[in-house]
A and B are shown apart, each in its own frame.
Chain A
Amino acid sequence: MTDRNPDTGAFFTRDRTWHPPAYTPDYKTSVLRSPQRALLALDGTLSEITGPVFGHAILGELDNDLIHNFARSGEAAIGERLIVHGRVLDENGRGVPGALIEVWQANAGGRYRHKKEGYLAALDPNFGGCGRCITDENGNYRFRTVKPGPYPWPNGPNDWRPAHIHFSVFGHGFAQRLITQMYFEGDPLIWRCPIVRTIPDQRAVERLIAPLDMANTIPMDARAYKFDIVLRGRRSTLFENRLDGN
């Protein structure tokens, strides 16, 4: 036997006290968008245990390089050059290979390239703000970008989002589907942010704060931040679905 669980087991129960609850009135938009009835519990069926898996063939050469993937030829996005890297693991501590990671973010001035975005900070003509990569056989990923700026947003009269990168992650089962945000070590806006504060447990927030990783910087080029992501783990199927006598 290998130490890999077969990818056909049901997932560990999601700890909903660790995630933000749906109704978080200090984050005002959640008030009318939060289900109020109890969720119906459903231990994973094949419809949730399975999920789409994406091959490296979908990736273009610059998909993991936000500094260049929207820039005019020979030009580059403006901002602090960063490597963001880490590992996608499951709750069993095993690397998740072949996990699709999609990221999006504001530019170095805190401005998103979006028609509904009204912040007065300037667009960078060489920065689109999206990128993607797929983890290697050990669950490692890496992309290059500029550090996003913090920006004000209409919630309270003077709320500012800390600098952050949005992450969307696919594991191997649709029940693992996750969207989260990565924050940067030392940002004083993190603990003031109503969206960060939707998470009730301080330890869960700390897991979203990427440390500066000088060991992975590229000297005279880019600093590095390390951000590990944990997806739900699978139960062993060894004694499941085998009724005695069958």
Chain B
Amino acid sequence: MTQDLTYLKETASQTAGPYVHIGLTPNASGITGVYSADLGAAMVNDRTKGTRITIRGCVIDGGGASLRDALVEIWQADAAGLHNSPSEPRGQADPDFTGWGRCACDGDGGEFIFHTIKPGRVPFKDGRLMAPHITFWIVARGINLGLHTRMYFPEEEQANAEDPLLLRLEHRDRVTTLIAQADGDDSYRFDIHLQGKRETVFLDI
């Protein structure tokens, strides 16, 4: 016998179900008057530093259909590469940028849209700089545990080529699943494929 390790087990996940929007974006789902605004709807204000960008995309299932009941959250650094979080050890991030956004994919065609800024570079654990990226988290009916992935930027060819995460992908043709497409000035398209030949790289983090 030994002493016991007394760690607890993480609570098991369950699907967000078809009505996740009731709980997380009630105003967008027609339940008004409970919260003044849906959390995560506004990431920037007039004073936010950095280049304004727009990101649109869909979450697409193995049959090629866009999910109408998904919910997407994003999390990212500010223009200087700092996170607006008490767990950020490197300094104070831009107080006018939340870094966190949430969007329900229940519009026409199941599209999500985020109005944010282009993030700065953030160091990897060993000090190498990662390419600018945005962390995505996707939940929906039929998704049993929220899916983590990242979006990188198409114009950052050099930074992407030396990014520690992208370098780790053994199948190089999958790198493109993590890189958004330019879609006009400071506008990007990032579709997330849950299955199939273009299945997005999801992360075990």
Contact = CB atoms under 8 A, between A and B. Distances in A.
Contact of B144 (A7, A8, A21): A21
Interface stretch (B13-21, B46-54, B154-162): B13-21
Contacts of B62: 31-34
B41 interface: no
Given A35-B194, A41-B204, A116-B18, A89 B31 contact: no
Interface string B128-152: 0010010101011111111110100
A139 interface: no
Interface in A27-60: 27, 29-37, 39-54, 58, 60
Interface of A: 7-8, 10-12, 14-16, 18-22, 24, 27, 29-37, 39-54, 58, 60, 62-63, 69-70, 89-93, 102-104, 112-117, 128-132, 166, 168, 172-175, 177-181, 195-196, 198-199, 201, 203-205, 207-208, 229-233, 241
Contacts, number: 273
16 contacts: A8-B89, A14-B205, A18-B12, A20-B12, A22-B143, A32-B63, A33-B67, A45-B124, A54-B39, A58-B39, A60-B34, A130-B31, A179-B139, A203-B9, A205-B12, A207-B11
B95 interface: no
A34 B29 contact: no
A203 B203 CA distance: 26
A52 B75 CA distance: 8
B83 A50 contact: yes
B86 to A, nearest CB: 6
A229 B13 CA distance: 11
B16 A166 contact: yes
B23 interface: yes
Contact of B85 (A53, A70, A113): A53
B204 A42 contact: yes
Contacts of A18: 9-10, 12
A36 to B, nearest CB: 6
Given A32-B61, A33-B194, A46-B122, A91 B9 contact: yes
Contacts of B99: 52
Interface in B150-205: 150, 165, 168-169, 174, 194-195, 199-205
Contacts of A12: 7
A175 B75 CA distance: 11
Given A39-B202, A41-B204, A172-B87, A104 B12 contact: no
Given A50-B83, A50-B88, A196-B14, 19 more contacts: A12-B7, A16-B204, A19-B145, A27-B142, A30-B15, A30-B143, A35-B147, A37-B201, A50-B87, A60-B34, A63-B34, A70-B33, A91-B8, A112-B22, A113-B31, A128-B26, A179-B139, A199-B12, A230-B10
Tell me the dominant secondary structure on chain B's binding face: loop
A51 B13 contact: no
Given A172-B87, A233-B7, A37 B199 contact: yes
Interface of B: 6-24, 26, 29-31, 33-36, 39, 61-63, 65, 67, 69, 73, 75-77, 83-90, 98-100, 122-125, 130, 133, 135, 137, 139-148, 150, 165, 168-169, 174, 194-195, 199-205
A195 B15 contact: yes
A233 B75 CA distance: 20
Contacts of B8: 89-93, 230, 233
A205 B30 CA distance: 32
A51 B85 contact: yes
